[in-house]
Amino acid sequence: MNDQARETGTEPIRARVRFHLPEAALDSLFGEIRSRPGLRPSTHWLGLRRHRQSLRGDRIVDWIERRLGIDRAEAYTIGRRLVARGYLVPIQGDHDFEDSPTLYRFDDPNPVAGTTAGEPASPVPIGELAARMRAAQGIRPRTHHYRFVRYPNCFTGRDAVEWIMAETGVGRAEAIAIGQHLLLRNQLRHVFDEHAFADAGLLYRFV
């Protein structure tokens, strides 16, 4: 990289990063982000869908930049590490962290031993379990009616919990935690995006 590129700011972002945050400090920083003075999730719209309790990637970078007094490239790198650790989960698909209006949610900051960060304990890997749920022998979505309105291709949270228990042999509390994680990982969603996952008659669809 020549001196002109450095002076004009055209040096690649990755080459300009100098700051390093130790892993223990990263955990502490995430605790601050989730605390009351930290970042407050809010409702955002993505197309015609409403996403409650979500955060924009660029706002996360803003907060890290101000809190640590570092430049934007370094704050962005820390955002990527938070996603890699499972502390932040992209709402749409499985992608890396972006300094943009891309939306994220908080995930469980206390992973269980033997699982990836934020992932509940399960005898079946979460990704494999999600694939089984969609398969022919998995949960069978059907049409439900609520207050005279027809909702096709849905299943209830209670149906999902019962299926997870039967498929994995875990208890009800563990099955509910797995269902919550599947919703956070954008494998399923409430029909109106108004509720978290619950062991109840609430309706959900595969994403």
Q: Give the length of the chain.
A: 207
**Could you tell me the two tokens for 38?**
């930290």
Residues 88, 79: contact at Cβ < 8 Å? yes
What is the spatial distance between Cα 114 and Cα 123, in angstroms, rounded to a whole number? 10
pLDDT at 12: 42
> Per-residue confidence at 18, pLDDT binned at 50, 70, 90?
low
SS3 label, residue 114: coil
Task: Return the percentage of the chain with pLDDT > 90, whole number.
Answer: 21
Which backbone phi and psi does 11 adopt, to 5 degrees? -60, 135
* pLDDT tens column, 133-182: 888 888 989 998 888 888 899 999 999 999 999 998 888 888 888 888 88
Which of the four pLDDT bands, split at 50, 70 and 90, describes residue 50?
confident
The larger pLDDT score, comparing residue 160 to residue 45, is at 160
Angle at 8 between CA 4 and CA 10, to 5 degrees: 90
Q: Is the pLDDT of residue 116 over 60?
A: no
In the block, tokens 């269980």 appear at 112
Do residues 117 and 111 touch, judged by C-beta distance below 8 A?
Answer: yes
Residue 5 has pLDDT above 60, yes or no: no
pLDDT at residue 119, as a whole number: 57
pLDDT band at 60 (very low <50, low <70, confident <90, very high): very high
Mean pLDDT: which of 30-34, 106-110, 140-144, 179-183 is highest? Answer: 140-144
The region, left, alpha or beta by phi > 0 then psi within -120 to 50, assigned to residue 5 is alpha
Q: Which of 36-40, 69-73, 161-165 has the lowest mean pLDDT?
A: 36-40
